[in-house]
Amino acid sequence: MHSLNVDLGERSYPILIGSGLIASPEHILPYIRGRQALVVTNETIAPLYLERILQSLSGLDRVDSIELPDGEAFKTLDTVNRIFDTLLHNRHDRGTTIIALGGGVVGDMSGFAAACYQRGVDFIQVPTTLLSQVDSSVGGKTGVNHPLGKNMIGAFYQPQLVLVDIDTLTTLPDRELSAGIAEVIKYGMICDAPFFTWLEENMDRLLARDPVALAYAIEKSCASKAEVVADDERESGRRAILNFGHTFGHAIEAVQGYGNWLHGEAVAAGMVMAAELSCLRDWISVEDVQRLRRLLERANLPLASPADMTVEDYLQAMAVDKKVQNGQLRLVLLRALGDAHIVSDTPKPLLIETLQKCGAK
């Protein structure tokens, strides 16, 4: 087992990475401060892993669970209200711990519910998808979608523990694995060029679910994110580099309908757009962009805009992105491979040229 720490002073917490952790009480019970817990999962994950984690929690006085519908389309306030209903019906007090067992949707909603219930209760992340293991479970971003924008309603709220059991990746569909690899590639692009080279050399091992390669990629990704989050917990500055490709990607998700494109798929296309725009600004080379394109293609990820999206679709969706400040769109672009910066002076003609080059009508 590997252990990392997200250093946030009194809100610091560990990330534990290993095999068989869900079924190991010694890895989860020490981080539960009360005697109650609610496990939040979904109808896909529950048959696979719910019983294992309930066994690990059997030493508590009361453990309840709730199975939510699966999918980004259900990441709403209405679904979060079902979590509140369960907590209240079963008389969970301020000492309870909410445990998120699932992917990013479950984790984001569980964390938001924990931030709100009785003005804040503990929660633990047990991510079961690669994307959630390397991204959404770490850093304390919680929330739900709104029809006009992704993750526009939420709170910064840190977990007590992130428990990454890589055994859960054995049941992950190939498409979901690829979507998670998109976020892994992101870390190489924004802050770790040697890791990007490692991914070029080891992509086949990741796709084959080699446990050693997966554990290494997860640890490197989590270490990168933990370092950035410790430096800027509430995204007032540097943390925004973690959104490389996401402004374009969130536009794709919002316009296409949440769930039709997986988050990682939309981010993959968005990273190509961000890289192409960086190239148009003469900050990275054409070869740098081609390296990204080749790696994403090997990971079975999309490289271009959905065929039915227009430039205007993007511009309207991006206008309500969380990174817009004082009416200015801020984008994460690359000054070099492994060196991301937040930029707010992108000329609109270059933005339009990029969108058109990447397939927008």
Active-site annotation holds for 246: yes
Active-site annotation holds for 2: no
Residues linked to residue 15 through DSSP beta bridges, in sequence order: 4, 162
Active-site annotation holds for 235: yes
C-alpha distances in Å from residue 35, one per residue of 9, 97, 197: 25, 8, 46
Catalytic residue among 186, 250, 293, 323: 250
Active-site annotation holds for 175: no
Catalytic residue among 67, 176, 235, 276: 235
Residue 325, Cβ neighbours under 10 Å: how many? 9
Catalytic residue among 186, 239, 291, 330: 239
Active-site annotation holds for 361: no
Catalytic residue among 225, 291, 293, 323: 225
Residue 243, Cβ neighbours under 10 Å: how many? 24
Contact 343, 297 (CB under 8 A): no
Active-site annotation holds for 26: no
Catalytic residue among 42, 176, 243, 265: 243
Active-site annotation holds for 323: no
Catalytic residue among 10, 26, 89, 119: 119
Decide: helix, strand or coil at residue 336. strand
Active-site annotation holds for 250: yes
Axis-axis angle for helices 174-191, 211-231 (nearest 10): 50
SS (H, E, C) 46-105: HHHHHHHHHHHCCCCCEEEEEEECCCHHHCCHHHHHHHHHHHHHCCCCCCCEEEEEECHH
Residues linked to residue 332 through DSSP beta bridges, in sequence order: 342
Catalytic residue among 141, 186, 291, 323: 141
Axis-axis angle for helices 263-280, 348-357 (nearest 10): 120
Distance CA 169, CA 14 (A): 21
- CA angle in degrees (0–180, nearest 5) for 32-62-20: 55
Q: Tokens representing 46?
A: 């529950």
Rg (CA), the chain: 20
CB-count burial class (<10 Å; 0-12, 13-18, 19+) for 131: buried
Catalytic residue among 246, 293, 323, 330: 246
Active-site annotation holds for 205: no
Catalytic residue among 92, 186, 220, 263: 263
**Catalytic residue IDs:** 119, 141, 183, 225, 235, 239, 243, 246, 250, 263
